[in-house]
Amino acid sequence: MMKHAKHSIESHRYELVHREDADVIAYRRKFGDGLWQTVSTWMIPRTEYP
């Protein structure tokens, strides 16, 4: 059971990327060739407060 959880952690990850106008969360998976590929992204727009 723990081995499956460890494998899951090593095969996918979430990354937070800061940009000037928004932050982006990227969900990435590691495939058999060892390369990370972005599967989906979510944008979190920044709001300016007075």
Render pLDDT for 7-47 as a digit per residue (tens, 0 to 9). 445 788 898 888 777 888 989 998 888 888 999 999 988 77
**Residue 6: its pLDDT value, please?**
40
- Domain region containing 19: 12-42
**Residue 1: its pLDDT value, please?**
37
Residue 22 belongs to a domain: yes
**Residue 10: its pLDDT value, please?**
74
Q: Which amino acid is at 2?
A: M
What is the DSSP secondary-structure string of 11-48?
HEEEEEEE-SSEEEEEEEEE-TTS-EEEEEEEEEE---
**Residue 40: its pLDDT value, please?**
93
Contact 26, 14 (CB under 8 A): yes
**Residue 46: its pLDDT value, please?**
74
